[in-house]
Amino acid sequence: MKIAVIGTGYVGLVTGVALSEIGNRVTCIDVDPSKVEKLSNGIPTIYEPGLEELIRKNLESGNLSFTAKHQEGLSDAEVVYIAVGTPQRPDGAANLDYVEQAARDIAANITRNVIVVIKSTVPVGTNFHIKDLINKNTKNGIQIKIASNPEFLREGSAVKDTFHGDRIVIGTEDEQTADILAELNQPFGAPIVTTDISSAEMIKYSSNAFLATKISFINEIANLCEAMGANVEEVAKGMGLDHRIGPDFLKAGIGYGGSCFPKDTNALVQLAGNANHDFNLLKSVIEVNNHQQVLLLNKIESRFGSIQGKRVAVLGLAFKPNTDDLRESPAFVMIPKLCAMGADVIAYDPIAVSNAKRQLGTDIDYTEDLHEALNNADFAIIITDWPSVKNADLAIFNTLMKEPVVFDGRNCYALDKVKQATLEYYSIGRPDQAPELIG
């Protein structure tokens, strides 16, 4: 099948490459010629494990191509995926400008009846709006079928999730379109859920909102554990063994970030407000997460008082491991506050340093070397649980730092190992390992 994918961000690029891998002829379209040039040469524009190999393989086979020309990508397409960004507006609603522009580009360049599949995360009702927009602007009586096919990819494991997903959701207006898309997606091997379009749109938002709720819930339990002398890891383990609850997303820390959870939770609150429904639960989830992202700063102030002139190693810039995505990362909340408090910051990340420099500027130091970050630091803050941090020999904190004082926002280390290493260690929802407690 000949397929066009508009947008080469995380969703669009992974979707296009995966569809080419299962035997389709896919053209990915992006308005940025520099991105198209890199991708055409087999160079990924995002960091995602396994993606580069698949790009190069399918470029070589001829199943995959990239272009900045909509006419070239759309003229003979049988199925067109819209996979552009829907960033958050100031009021929390999703910005549909890029989706609407994609619709206009489709209308201007398609030469046959096509199925338009919206992969972007959009509010309920958007598919019908886009269908009307395309149909009003097409020529020669061309008609489209519209479908919602939301993505459930985790950054850092998006390729794996595509080929080993929990489900594929397809929302359509008619059975014929549903059957075509089900057959197209059958090689991925995941259970296929077919539904109406509005329900498919809502499934995406509801899924992310529920996962965000689990995260904020366990973080509130973690804060309560600290106040009452309990260990949140033991609590989460006991909870997670209940099959009705499950262990996933019960890991306490400094909150969720990334391109999906913050944007989608805010958008769902806004969507609910438009329907005259006050989504109090989700508002609380967002409030808890905002508080959680600065929790370590309170611990730091309690420990040091003033950190004026102190050297602090911030370990991790990306919002999660195995990605260079910085969107809504707690690091971008904490680093400006540390600088405002007078700290001398050196930030470590094995992948995201170049992206961070463009966004945070050069007022802080950066490194891709963990040892360099820790050298002569007064204290360290763990933001991202990169394997290089989680698997580090704890002796390096004693060896390299002025004092082995660690504030761990991801609960990377077992407390018994921390005790053996005699670190001064503060984590989330677990007993502090301070000198008077260690000794």
Which positions are annotated as active-site residues? 260
Q: Which string of b and e fits 141-171 if b means at least 16 CB within 10 Å?
A: eeebbbbbbbbbbebbbbbebbeebeebbbb
Task: Report the candidate in 308, 436, 325, 423 with the shortest Cα–Cα distance to residue 374.
Answer: 423
Distance CA 395, CA 332 (A): 28
State the Cα–Cα distance between residues 282 and 417, nearest whole angstrom. 37
Could you give the CA distance from residue 207 to residue 199 in angstroms, rounded to a whole number?
A: 12
**DSSP state, 79?**
E
Collapsing DSSP states into helix, strand and coil, what is residue 168? strand
Query: Which SS3 state, helix, strand or coil, does residue 63 take?
Result: coil
**DSSP, residue by residue, 100-127:** HHHHHHHHHH--S-EEEEE-S---TTHH
The DSSP secondary-structure symbol of 87 reads P
Residues whose CB is less than 8 angstroms from the CB of residue 21 and which lie 6 or more positions away in sequence, other chains included = 54, 57, 58, 63
For 88, which DSSP code?
Answer: B
Instruction: Output the six-digit token pair for 130.
Output: 């886009």
Directed axis angle between helix 10-21 and helix 51-61, to 10°?
A: 50
Is residue 159 a contact partner of residue 50, using CB atoms and an 8 Å limit? yes
**DSSP secondary structure letters along 381-393:** EE-S--HHHHTS-
Residues 6+ apart with CB under 8 A from 217: none
